[in-house]
Structures are given as structure tokens and as C-alpha cells.
A and B are shown apart, each in its own frame.
Chain A
Amino acid sequence: EAGVTQFPSHSVIEKGQTVTLRCDPISGHDNLYWYRRVMGKEIKFLLHFVKESKQDESGMPNNRFLAERTGGTYSTLKVQPAELEDSGVYFCASSQVRIVSTEAFFGQGTRLTVV
């Protein structure tokens, strides 16, 4: 079974540009999460999809970030326009509802560098 996959693995863009990150969750997982780790900080929650619906987007830093999950399959996270402080590693995770509902499986992350 394929794990969570993220594209691209690395992205270097200039301030003011747009970047779109993609996440393909484990097949059949209804829950999809985006997390971010910025330099020197812990991994922090951004938002949570259940199928195609946004369940919780309380961690999104501002309106420059837009996440979508059309059809309840893969998800994209767009940053527009990117700022220097957006640099970090963006992780996607997915899970299926089980007894322990918080088990999540992570992708390898996308390292975003804004210069």
C-alpha cells in the first residue's frame, strides 16, 4: 500500500510568487491534515479535511494560504503571495477513522524556501 506522498519535495521561490503544494493521502483515508514546521519551532497544525470538507482550519496563518481537496482525494495547499516567513517544511498526513481516531500517517514533507 502506498503511503502519503507529497509533491514537490523541495521548492525555492521568490517573495511574492505563488507556490502550490500537493498531497496524495493513503487510499481510503477520509481525514487529511496539513502541518508545518518553521525553523526552530515545533510542527504545527494548519488544517484538517474530512473528505472534501474543511473540518478545522484554525491553524491557517492568514488568507495567503488556501487549501483545497476537490473530490475528497488529493489536496493542494497554495501560498499566494509567498512571504519570507512562509519558509519551512510542510507536512501532509492522513488517517482513517478507527478506535484510536488520531493515528496519522505522514508524508515526507515539502521543504519550501522563500527568498
Chain B
Amino acid sequence: TQLLEQSPQFLSIQEGENLTVYCNSSSVFSSLQWYRQEPGEGPVLLVTVVTGGEVKKLKRLTFQFGDARKDSSLHITAAQTGDTGLYLCAGALTGSARQLTFGSGTQLTVLP
């Protein structure tokens, strides 16, 4: 059983469209991070959210942490081909050491 359920697993959209990726759990996280990974590289940190209900924006990317700190979403506005990649959510469980629990990832393909 996966602790962090990420959906959708695959997403293929046209350039200019909007999309949302979800990360859900029944567990509470002290913080949650979103990473983007390119082939042959390691995950690159995009954002960290800590407070329940927190919303952070990074250009066209909007990240939200659920009020109960059990879920998160990543919304991309007007997707570009350069947004193509594997998006990963990862959280630190409350009370645990600093290890991260990862979701399985969303492979996003933005078509020209």
C-alpha cells in the first residue's frame, strides 16, 4: 500500500492548456515537497509547503497544501513544452525523522 497516492500517473496535454496533479494520503505530513525530475537526473526541488492551507506560486505553477496537511496539488497554467517531465510529491511524516515518503510520480508530456 502506497502512503502517498499521486494522480494521474500519466498526463499528455497540448501546449497552452491547464492541468492539475494531485497527491493524497490518509496520513498527516509535517511538510510536503514537489520535485521535478528529468531523464538521467535526480529530482529537483520546486517548492516546500509547511502550513495547512498554504498556497505557493512559482511563475505558472501553483502549489497548495491541504488544510489537514494530508494532501497537496500542483496546478500548471498555460503549460509549455518545457514543463514536460516527471513530477513527484514527497512528504515528511509528522513525528518521523527527516526521511521523505515519495509518491509514484506524474509523467507530464506537453505537446507543441
Interface residues of A (CB under 8 A from B): 4, 6, 9, 31, 33, 35, 41-45, 48, 55-56, 59, 91, 93, 95, 100-109
Contact = CB atoms under 8 A, between A and B. Distances in A.
Contacts of A107: 42
Given A42-B102, A106-B45, 17 more contacts: A33-B98, A33-B100, A35-B102, A42-B4, A43-B88, A48-B97, A48-B99, A59-B99, A91-B43, A101-B92, A102-B31, A102-B92, A102-B98, A104-B100, A105-B45, A106-B44, A108-B40
Interface residues of B, number: 26
Contacts of B102: 35, 42-44
A59 B90 CA distance: 16
B48 A102 contact: yes
Nearest to B99: A45
A4 B43 CA distance: 11
Given A42-B2, A108-B40, A102 B45 contact: no
Contacts of B35: 106
A100 B99 contact: no
B109 interface: no
Interface centre among B31, B43, B101 (most CB of A within 10 A): B43
Interface string B28-59: 00110101000011111100101000000000
A105 B92 CA distance: 14
